[in-house]
Structure 1
Amino acid sequence: MLTKDKLILLLLIHFIVGILVGLFVSNKRVINESYYSSLTIPGKQSTETSLSISSSVKIIDFNKSINENFTCMKTKTLLHFFNSSVCIHGVHKDVAVSGAFRESLSIWDEEGVIRILRLLLRYPHLDFIDIGANIGTYTMYAAALGRFVLAIECFAPNVDRIHRAVQLENISNRVVLIQNALYSHSGQYLRLALDTNNIGGQELDIVKKPTNNQNTTYNQSKGNDPYLVKTITLNELVPILHARGVRGAIIKMDIEGSESFALESGSQIFDLFDIPVVQMEWLKVRSFPDRVKFLIDFFTKRNYVPKTFQCQLLDIKNIQVWPNDLCWTKGNTSCC
C-alpha cells in the first residue's frame, strides 16, 4: 500500500515528466524563428506560395516593434510552476478581463486557465488553439508550458498587447498570432460592436442579427478603424498547423456568439487533427436556435458529447439548462 509521501512523490514525478515530454515534443517541432517569420509575414510572396496561406490571413510579425505604451506585468504562478506576462487595457475600459489582473495575486478566468494547463500536461502531444484570444491570457500560459499556440484575435488593440507580451517573454518561436475574425466566409469586412466597459471583448455586429445580412459587410477596411475587422475561415489556418507539425490540439473558443460562424467553414481542423476537447462559451450563442442546432449537429456527428466543467453529461434535449460555458469532449477524454 502506498504511503502518503510515496503518493505525493509519484504525483510530482508524473507532473514533471508531463512538462519535460511537452517541452521535448514542442522543441522538436519548432521551426527556426527567423526562417518561420520569413515564411509567414503577410505580403511576402514566400508566405502564400510555400504554405498556401490565403491572402486574407494576417499573421503578426513579432520582429516588428510596438510603438505604444502599455501596462504590462508578470502574472500569477499557476500549478506552482507556470507564469508569464500580459499587457492590459485601462481597467475603466476593460473591467472584466484587464480588471481581474493583480500581478502575482490574480488573473482573469484562473479556473479555466488551470483546466487547460492540466489538460495539456495530461496530453503532452497536444498543442493549443486559442480562438478569441483577447489580451492573451490563455495563449501566454500555454506557451509558458512549452506548447505551440495558434492564437486568433480580431481586435487590433488586443493583438498589439499580445504582440508585446510575446516579445517580453521571448516566445515568438512558440506562438503564431492571427489578426482576423473567424467567419463562414473569407475576405469580408465586418464591424465590431462597441462596448465601453469591455473594450477587449466586443462581438461582431452580425452576431445580433437572426440571419447573415449582407448589409453588415463592407468592401474594404476604412483606414485604421479597429472596429472593422477582416474575416477568414477556420479551414484557412490548416497550412499553419501542418507547417508547425501539429498532430492535435486543445481548443478554447470564446468569440461572443460567433462560434457557429467559425465552425461553418472549420470542418478540416476536426477532420485532419486530433481535437479531443473544445472549451466553449455558450452564453450568447444559446439565444439563436438555428446556431445552437448547427453546433450540436456539428459536434455530435463527430462523436463529441457536451459536458459541464465538472464532467457532468449535458442533456441535448434540455439545452435551456446548459451552463454559460461548457466542454465538448471526444472519446474517453475528460475536461475536469
Structure 2
Amino acid sequence: MRPRHCTIMTISVSFNIVLIGYIYFSTRKTTINRDDGSRIMAASLGIQKSQTDLSHPKFLMGLRSVISPPTHPVTEANTQVTNIDNENQNTPLVKCLTPTKSQNQKQSVYSWNGLTWKENKTVCANLPKFRKGTLRTSSGDTPIFVHEPGVDKYISHHILVSGTWEREVAVAVVAFLQADKNLQFVDIGANIGVISLEVAKLGRRVVSVEPLIDNIQRLCSSVDAGHFSNDVTMVFNAISDTHEQVSLGRDQDNVGGTFVLNNNPNKRNGSDVKLIGQYRELVQTILLNDLLSLLSSDPLTKVVIKLDVEGYEDHVLNGADEFFRQVDVQTVVMEWTYSKVPGTAETIQSFMSRHSMYPYDFNHWPLELTPRAIWPPNVAWIKQSRNP
C-alpha cells in the first residue's frame, strides 16, 4: 500500500505545480500583451507616456488637463525668459512650463484694445533679463523680478532686503482664501505681483490686472520662473468706470506708487507723493465688468479681490456693479490711504453696502463705528447679511 500511496501523492503534487505555473504564465502573458498593445496604440497616435497633473484645477479659458513636464532644478542660469510658438511644436496645446531656456512658453496676457479683447503676444516677448529677488510666501519661496532699488525704493528694495512687502496684506489675503477652497483671486493693481505670486504659490487661480508695462513684463518673468503659467491670467490695462486712454503718473523713486493721472486728485494731493511727470505711453482702460466677457469660457465664481489702485478705487467700483452681481465677491482687501477723503469714502461705502459688504480691520473688528478718516491703511470689506 505504501508505494501506491507515494505514487498518488507524487502525481498530485506534480499536477498542482503544473497548474500553478500555467496560471502564472497565462496571467503574465496577458499583462505583457496589454502593455504592448497600449504602447503600440500610443506609438500609432504619436503619444508619449506622461503623467497628468491633477493637483491644479483646469483654470484658464477652458484648457484641457495639464501634462506635467519633467522636473529640473531651477538655477540662475535657466530662469531667462524667452518665448516659443506652441503651434509649431509636437506637444499638446496646453499652458505648461519646463524651467529651461529652450522650452519656455508664451504667456497668458490679454488686453482690451478699445473694441474687444485680444491676446497680447508682444508685451512679454523677448524680455531682457530683469533683476531677480526671492519672495518669501506662506507656501514657500518663489522667484520675483524687481526694479532696481534706486528707482523703486519701497517694494523692490524691501523684497531684495527681506523677501517681503506689506506682509500683513498678504497674510490677510491668504487667510480669507483658506477659509474656502473654492475661492479664486483677482488682483487689481498687481504691480510686480507680490500678492499674485503669493496666491499662485498657494495653488489658487489668479487674475492679475496691471497697467504699467514695466511691471507686467516683470510679472511675466516671475510667472515663468515660478511655473505658474497655468494659474495666472494677466490683464494689461488700467481699470476705470469708462473706456478711454489715460496717462500714468510717476511718483519719484517709487514705481510702486504709479497711478492713473486723469481725474485722480486723491493721489496727487497725497502728502507723500512727489509727482515728477508721467509715463510716455497712454494706457487703455477697462471696466471691472469687462472681465466677465474675457473669462466667459471659464467664469470666475467666488473670489477675493485685492484693490490697490492709488486713489482710483472709487472709479473701479463705479464700473463694477455687474461683476459684483454675477460673481460671488466674498472679500475686498482695499488700500484706504487715498480713499478716505470726503466724497470718495462715501461713494465706496455706498457701493459696498449695496452689495452687502461691510468694513473690518484685519483683526475682524468692525469699522463702521469709527470715523472713516482714521480707518487703518488697509481695510477688508467682507460680505455678510445684515437681515434680522
Q: Taking structure 1 as reference, are residues 156 and 316 closer, same or farther at Cα in structure 2, changes over 3 Å only?
A: farther
How many aligned positions are there?
283
8 Å contact 2:109–2:119 — kept in the other structure?
yes
8 Å contact 1:190–1:231 — kept in the other structure?
yes
Match of 1:98 in 2: 156
CA shift for structure 1 position 41: 6.7
Q: 2:217 and 2:260 mapped to 1: Cα distance?
A: 19
8 Å contact 1:54–1:236 — kept in the other structure?
no
Structure 2, unaligned runs of 5 or more: 1-52, 67-92, 96-104, 267-278
Match of 1:208 in 2: 264
Bigger mean CA deviation after superposition, 165-174 or 69-78: 69-78
Q: 1:180 and 1:265 mapped to 2: Cα distance?
A: 14
8 Å contact 1:29–1:245 — kept in the other structure?
no
Instruction: Please give the residue correspondences for 1:99-118 in structure 2 after superposition, counting only pairs within 5 Å.
Output: 99-102=157-160, 105-118=162-175
1:329 and 2:329 correspond? no
Match of 1:281 in 2: 335
Match of 1:250 in 2: 304
1:134 and 2:191 correspond? yes
Q: Which amino acid aligns with 1:132?
A: G
1:271 and 2:331 correspond? no
Q: Taking structure 1 as reference, are residues 316 and 272 closer, same or farther at Cα in structure 2, changes over 3 Å only?
A: farther
Q: 1:236 and 1:115 mapped to 2: Cα distance?
A: 27
Q: 2:141 is paired with a residue of what secondary structure? A: coil
Q: 2:57 is paired with a residue of what secondary structure? A: helix
8 Å contact 2:110–2:234 — kept in the other structure?
no
Q: 1:244 is paired with a residue of what secondary structure? A: coil
Structure 1, unaligned runs of 5 or more: 1-22, 211-224
Q: 1:312 and 1:167 mapped to 2: Cα distance?
A: 39
8 Å contact 1:127–1:147 — kept in the other structure?
yes
Q: Which of 142, 146, 156 matches 1:84? A: 142
Bigger mean CA deviation after superposition, 65-74 or 24-33: 24-33
8 Å contact 1:59–1:176 — kept in the other structure?
no
Q: 1:242 and 1:26 mapped to 2: Cα distance?
A: 20
Q: Taking structure 1 as reference, are residues 106 and 312 closer, same or farther at Cα in structure 2, changes over 3 Å only?
A: same
Q: 2:140 is paired with a residue of what secondary structure? A: coil
Q: 2:126 and 2:115 mapped to 1: Cα distance?
A: 23
Q: 2:126 and 2:365 mapped to 1: Cα distance?
A: 44
Q: Which amino acid aligns with 1:135?
A: I
CA shift for structure 1 position 69: 2.5
**Deviating 4+ runs (over 6 angstroms):** none
CA shift for structure 1 position 128: 0.4
Q: Taking structure 1 as reference, are residues 313 and 41 closer, same or farther at Cα in structure 2, changes over 3 Å only?
A: closer
1:320 and 2:373 correspond? yes
1:196 and 2:249 correspond? no
Q: Which of 57, 60, 70 matches 1:27? A: 57
8 Å contact 1:57–1:232 — kept in the other structure?
no
CA shift for structure 1 position 117: 1.6
8 Å contact 2:134–2:163 — kept in the other structure?
no
Identity of aligned residues (%): 24
Q: Which amino acid aligns with 1:254?
A: D
Q: Taking structure 1 as reference, are residues 54 and 205 closer, same or farther at Cα in structure 2, changes over 3 Å only?
A: closer
Q: 2:212 and 2:156 mapped to 1: Cα distance?
A: 15
Q: 1:192 and 1:41 mapped to 2: Cα distance?
A: 20
Structure with the higher fraction of residues in strand conformation: 2
| Residues 127-185 of structure 1 deviation map (CA, whole Å, 9 limit, x = unaligned) | 10000001001111111111111000001100110011111122111111111110111
Q: Which amino acid aligns with 1:134?
A: N
1:296 and 2:326 correspond? no
CA shift for structure 1 position 294: 1.4
